Amino acid sequence: MDTSTLRFARRELILGGQKSGKSSRAERQAMTWLAADAGHRAVLIATGQANDPQMSERIARHRRERMLRAPALVTVEEPLELGPAIVRHSTPKTLVLIDCLTLWLTNRLMPSEAMPVVESANDPAHEAAFFLALGSAPGPVVIVSNEIGLGVIPLGQEVRDFVDALGVLNQRTAAACDRVTLMVSGMAMTLKEGNVCGVS
């Protein structure tokens, strides 16, 4: 993709399946933002947790690859308090990239044995704070999330409830965003296009 042609929405949701190219597109947005102005910053809020050896290696690999592709992209880890993290890091000259909503919801609804149980993790106030921060962020926000509702209805109530909850969260986030992009096999399809502008 020619990153020079990217135009920024104040809020963008990038959806897709696993290995669809959604995170790569979001990172390219961040790199274009950084390259446009020496005063620009970009912060990645990572919600993933290293709860098992495979996930630990996956996170470590992503960190190594990001350092090569976008060394100026600052990474902070925040598994639960996403709203306050946006408030802390968003400025008019800072692009905030959230990767991803799916893992954030997982941390809240299905904490692993390796992650301390937080009684308030599933408190609706977490989402209220997220949407309030999203709406008031002074700089652009790019959000990555998985589209997992296109396959066979899963067996087991816990998984069905999670698929439903993510679908509702994605709908609410899409409604709050100016642009919604669906990634399929590395190709971007624009589902919604609202208030966009050139890099500034």
**Per residue in 41-52, pLDDT tens?**
999 999 987 666
Cα angle, residue 124 at apex, residues 118 and 136 outer, rounded to 5°:
110
Whole-angstrom Cα distance, residue 162 to residue 110? 9
Sign of CA dihedral 159, 168, 97, 183: positive
Both tokens assigned to 9? 């929405």
- In 78-179, where does DSSP find H-type helix? 82-89, 101-109, 125-136, 157-176
Q: In whole angstroms, how far apart are CA 84 and each of 52, 81, 135?
A: 27, 6, 13
CB-neighbour burial class of residue 102 (10 A; exposed 0-12, middle 13-18, buried 19+): buried
- Greater confidence (163 vs 66) lies with 163
Cross-strand pairs, 196? 9
pLDDT at 4 over 80: no
Q: In whole angstroms, how far apart are CA 130 and each of 47, 102, 125, 133, 148?
A: 13, 14, 8, 5, 21
**Per residue in 10-33, pLDDT tens?**
999 999 999 999 999 999 999 999
Give this prediction's pTM. Answer: 0.86
pLDDT at 180 over 80: yes
- Map out the domains of the chain with their CATH numbers: 12-195 (3.40.50.300)
Are 19 and 55 contacting, i.e. CB atoms less than 8 angstroms apart? no
pLDDT at 31: 92
Question: Which residues are the active-site residues?
Answer: 62
73: three-class secondary structure by DSSP: coil
**Per residue in 97-118, pLDDT tens?**
999 999 999 998 887 665 555 5
